[in-house]
Amino acid sequence: MIPICSLIISTYNTPDRLRRCLQSVAEQRVLPAEIIIADDGSGEDTRAVVIEMSNMSIVPIVHVWQPDDGFRLAQIRNKAILQASNEYIINIDGDVLLDKYFVHDHLYFARRERFLTGDRAFLTARSTQKYMDERNGFPSFYTASLKKRAHAIRCRRISEIYAAIHRPLEPWRYVVGCNMSFWRDDLLDINGYNEAFEGWGGEDFDIAVRLANAGIRQYFLHFYAVAYHLDHPESDRSSSAANDTLFRQSVEHRITRIEHGINNHFDE
């Protein structure tokens, strides 16, 4: 049976990109039951976009916001997970545009004791500028200057064959936080994202490892659930070494449930 899902969209001070992302969600052939904006301290421009799109959306949009106190993606995702009212959760970022079958594809492959990890194709700066204009529609496999074009191929049979023969021994391989999905109960069992991760990088690898340690198998959703990443400057990566150390601890000690996660917000 296909689960009912909540779509969580992480964002920080990129209101124009968030608007386009939400417009791509509105074009989905299968809509999520709700959309949750996980907002890590954006200003009023983002709030205005959420209100604007909420007034246009047939799907409820919930805005979960926390004060801007540095890069705290793990924390805001945990708060969004707690707000989710459905059994299945799809995670994306507000700087991606979704193929119209993206939600359908995640739900099609959703199974108990499994979490899904997809990928994304990359738009260049020029094509990003083009597709920020809604009059130009949305990108496709045929978009000019598309980077990692193979990730824009959508074929269920190829995807199933690829997943059957491509089973990485390391569950953090082929994980990007902007294209993942899980059962909400599985996330609660491991206490969600590790909020010791601050700054860019590693929280998505870590949650994949801890799910795998808990017996939840990774399913690599290649050639399906297509997403297009909008070009933007790289985030500050000065925290990556410290975050990598945390992630390696989960690998080496086979950690499942962490101390500081979703439980930090039960009383909020």
Residues 90-125 have pLDDT tens digits of: 999 999 999 999 999 999 999 999 999 999 999 999
Calculate mean pLDDT across residues 168-172. Answer: 66
Short-list 93, 111, 85, CA closest to 32: 85
Q: Is the pLDDT of residue 51 over 90?
A: yes
Sheet containing 217-220: order of strands: 61-65, 34-39, 5-11, 88-93, 180-183, 114-117, 217-220
Task: Give me the phi and psi of 2, to 5 degrees please.
Answer: -70, 130
Average pLDDT, stretch 36-50?
A: 98
- Residues 181 and 110: their CA atoms lie apart, in Å, by 8
Q: Is the pLDDT of residue 2 over 90?
A: no
Residue closest to 117 by CA, chosen among 209, 47, 250 = 209
Backbone angles phi and psi of 88, in degrees to 5? -125, 145
pLDDT for the residue 175: 87
Name the β-bridge partners of 97.
228
Domains of the chain are 5-260 (3.90.550.10)
pLDDT band at residue 6 under the 50/70/90 scheme: very high
**What crossing angle do the helices spanning 15-26 and 44-56 adopt, rounded to 10°?**
20
Q: What is the pTM of this model?
A: 0.96
pLDDT at 165 (0 to 100):
81
Provide the CB-side half-sphere exposure for 28 (13 A, CA): 25
Q: Is the dihedral of CA 162, 167, 170, 176 positive or negative?
A: positive
The two tokens of residue 256 are 């499942």
Closest by CA position to 90, among listed 72, 73, 108, 75? 108
Share of residues in the chain with pLDDT > 90 (%): 80
- At 82, list the tokens: 């707690």
What was the pLDDT predicted at 39? 98
Give the number of other CB atoms < 10 A from CB of residue 253.
9
